[in-house]
Homo-oligomer: A and B are copies of this chain.
Amino acid sequence: MRYSRPVVTLADVARHAGVSTATASRIINNSPKPVAEHLRERVLAAVNELQFVPNANARQLARADRSAVGVIVHDVSDPYFAEITRGLQRVAAEHGRLVIICNSYRDPERELAYVDLLHAHRTAAIVLAGSGYHDTAATARLQHKLRVYRDAGGRVAVVGRHEHTGDAIVPENEKGGYLAGDALYRLGHTAIGVIAGPRHLTTTTDRLAGLQRAAREHRRRITSRHVVYAGFDRDGGVTAAAELLERNPAITALAALNDSMAVGALACLRERGIDVPERVSVIGFDDMPVAVDVTPALSTVRLPLEEIGMRAMALALRGGQGAPTTETAAARLVLRGSTAAAPPQGR
């Protein structure tokens, strides 16, 4: 069934133009080596007539250079990664690089498999974006695979990972958590519920740590009954908010560890007829585009996502020289309508 069509090769083009493959190749890649004009025309005409499309695999095999770059994210369709990816693509496109995007769906195994895959394809670099895992075994294996990849000449840049093998952009997650917490405490909230992401993600623990620090500074404590871990998405936000409200009716503020969850929390509160921010304040994290379109507009901690992507790709593409760099991406507090002073009865 699978009859192979007569694929056009460079040899066909050369034959058709009456030159050697060497000359044809030189013309097609316009190499520095000078070639007579009439030959060039003949070859180009042949390329066009035969509709020759050079085999990228053969080409890549023959020359030693690497050009494509791989990107591994949790899920491009998640706005957080969509923003980062946009930045990555932008810079890659400027450099004429092809980007191969892989979704790990937060599965460490799949992540490992993709590193191998990108290594096998001899990509020039791998950009790994997204939280790391609190899973020593998986982390060690990943570290190891990345090291092998680097030893084989690949570059690695990571975004928001602690285990930075290579260059890294680290968003100020702890600092951001602190900013959110500090803002809430300053508004007079004392009972704060935290809608956290998955326990095993470092992003969760980092942001939470910032919140705790703010609490400490304001001589408060965030006990475990004020923290609910859930999926890092809208639905996770809905269920976590519901549980938090159930467990602690006195809560006057909800801090979600990302905007998706915050939006879910808003939905949950709306459904229960709890006014935001009058009765309960809500603050998110990331400042995703949707934040300004929900009602009330979401207060949050802004992370320059697209910029992070751009910087990560720039690091990955810059020459191999120099020691690995670690850059931080600043978190900034953005207050909108979803936060307000704690209501009087909240003490």
Which of B51, B75, B320 touches A1 (beta carbons < 8 Å)?
B320
> Which parts of A9-61 form the interface with B (CB within 8 Å)?
51, 53-61
Q: Does A100 contact B (CB under 8 A)?
A: yes
Copies assembled: 2
Complex Cα spacing A263 to B290, Å: 9
Q: A88-105 vs B: 1/0 string, CB under 8 Å?
A: 010001000011111100
Q: Is A140 an interface residue (CB 8 A)?
A: no
Quick one: which of B59, B78, B120, B270 contacts A56, CB cutoff 8 A? B120
Does A246 count as interface, using CB distance less than 8 angstroms? no
In contact, A8 and B319 (Cβ under 8 angstroms): no
Cβ A293 vs Cβ B266 within 8 A: yes
Q: How far is the CB of A254 from chain B (nearest CB, A)?
A: 16
Kindly provide the distance from the CB of A63 to the nearest chain B CB, expressed in whole angstroms: 11
Q: Hey, which chain B residues are within 8 Å of A151, CB to CB?
A: 5, 51
Bound complex: CA A121 to CA B60 (Å): 10
Q: Which of B7, B152, B321 sits near A53, CB closer than 8 Å? A: B152
Contact B5 A51 (CB under 8 A): no
Distance, CA A151 to CA B152, complexed state (A): 37
Q: How far is the CA of A295 from the CA of B294 in the complex (A)?
A: 6
Contacts of A78 in B (CB 8 A): 82
